[in-house]
Chain A
C-alpha cells in the first residue's frame, strides 16, 4: 500500500508494526486498521477488553478568564453545567446550525478547558475558534503534537487499569476524569470512549505512550486484552450508533437531524448556530437519522441510496457487517416521518435492490 509522504505517525507506530498491524492512511495519519483480525478485535472489546491508539485525535487547550463564556458562545451544550473533573459531548456549529465538528469538552478549572476534536478537522476547528475569539480574554493552543491518546475499552477495562494506577477508578464516573499516573507516567484518566462499552481514555505525553501501551497489554493479557484497530473502532461505534464526522455529521447536518438534540441547550444562552436551530425546529426538521438492518444479502455502505416503500428517498451514511449481531446494519438519513421502526426499506447495493428494515438505535446497548 502506498502512503502519501505527508502522512504522519503516532508515537506508537513502531508498537503497531511490531504487533503485525495492517497500517492504513486515515485523516492524514498512518494508523493501524487491524492486528489479528477486525472481528476478533471487535468481540474482544465486547467481551473482555481492547486497547486502541487514537493519538491522531486533536487536543486544544482553552484557558483564560473568558474561557467559560467563550466556549458557551461557541458550543451548543451548556458549559456552565460542567464541574471540574467532568467532560461532555458537544460540537462546533456554523451559523446555519450545522457541524464544523463534534467535540468533547473537559473542564479542569473554571478558566481551564481541553477540547478533543477529530483529526481531520483539527486545522479547521482551530481556525474557527481563532476567527471567533474577538476580544475574549482566552488563549487557544493546539496541544495535539504533545498529546498521545490511548483508549482502553471493554468490560475488563477498569480491572486492568486498576492494577496500573493509584487513582480511585470507582470514583471516576462516566464522563468524569482525574489526573493521575498510569504505569508510573502522568496521565489524564477519563471514563469515556467510542465503543458502547465501559472504558477509559488516557491522555499521555508522547514519550509515555509506548511504555504505557506495553504495560497495559502485558497487565491485561490474562483478562484477554488485545490491541484493536480503527476497523473495530468503527464497527463498535456503529453498533452503538455513535455519529462519525464526515458520515452522519458534516456542514450540512444539524443536531436535530442527527438525533443529537440532547446536546443542544437552547436555554443556556446564545451560541453560534442557535438562531438557525430555533428556526429549523419551528419550520420542521426535514430529515432524521435512522437505523436499519439489511434483510437481504450484502452490506449497505456509505452513499448508497435508501428508500421507503412509500417512495421517500434518502442516503446511507454508514454501514457495516455487525460482528455482534452477525448481520448487516447501518445508519442513514430519510425525510422526517417517512418511516417507523419495523417498516420495510430498500437499499440499492451496486445496482441491485436489497430489502432492509428500519430498527431502533442504538443497535447495541450494554447491560449496566
Chain B
C-alpha cells in the first residue's frame, strides 16, 4: 500500500525525494483517519520552513489536522488541484493528492524518516 521509494514521518506525512526537491503529502492511513476532506490550506510558494513546522491544515467534516513538513526548506510548488478539489486527497493521497514541493535545506533530515515497511508497522501498530 505504501510506495517503497517514499519516506514517511511519525506525523503520517510521506516524502518523495527527487534531487534536492521533496514532494510531500499525507499517507493513506492519515486520510482514512481524517475521513472526507473538505478544505485544504496550503502555504505559498517562496515560504520557508524548518523541519516539523506546520505548513498547512486539512479539514474533514469532523476534524482538523495540521500538516507538518518532515524536512526544512523553501516551498517551490503547491498542489492547487488539491486546494480546489480536496476529495483527491482521500482518493489518491500518495500521488494526485500531494500537497507541496519543498527544496531541501538539509538533506540529512531525510535520515530521520521511516521506510515504507517501518511506516506500515508504525501505522498498523498505532491503530
Q: Which residue numbers of A lie inside 8 Å of B, CB to CB? A: 1, 22, 33-34, 37-39, 231, 234-235, 297-299, 301, 320-321, 323, 350
Contacts and interface: CB of A to CB of B under 8 A. Distances in A.
Interface in B23-70: 35-36, 38-39, 41, 57, 59, 61-62, 64
Contacts of B64: 299, 301, 350
Nearest to B83: A297
A24 to B, nearest CB: 9
Contacts of A301: 64
A235 B61 CA distance: 8
A22 B36 CA distance: 13
5 contacts: A37-B36, A38-B35, A297-B41, A299-B38, A321-B61
Contact of A34 (B35, B41, B127): B35
Contacts of B38: 299, 321
Nearest to B57: A350
A323 B61 CA distance: 9
B57 A297 contact: no
Nearest to B126: A1
B35 A297 contact: no
A298 B59 contact: yes
Nearest to A234: B62
Interface string B65-87: 00000000000000000000000
Nearest to B90: A37
B61 A231 contact: yes
Nearest to B32: A22
Nearest to B54: A350
A320 B61 CA distance: 6
Contacts of A323: 61
B81 to A, nearest CB: 16
A299 B39 contact: yes
Nearest to A235: B61
A231 B39 contact: no
A286 to B, nearest CB: 30
Contacts of A231: 35, 61-62
A320 B35 CA distance: 13
B22 to A, nearest CB: 25
B60 to A, nearest CB: 8
A33 B62 contact: yes
A1 B35 contact: no
A297 B39 contact: yes
B92 to A, nearest CB: 16
B36 A39 contact: yes
Given A37-B35, A231-B62, A299-B38, 5 more contacts: A38-B62, A299-B59, A301-B64, A321-B39, A321-B61
Nearest to B37: A321
A17 B35 CA distance: 17
Please name the 9 residue pairs, one residue from A and one from B, whose CB atoms are nearest each other, closest first: A321-B38, A321-B61, A39-B36, A299-B59, A38-B61, A231-B62, A38-B35, A298-B39, A37-B36
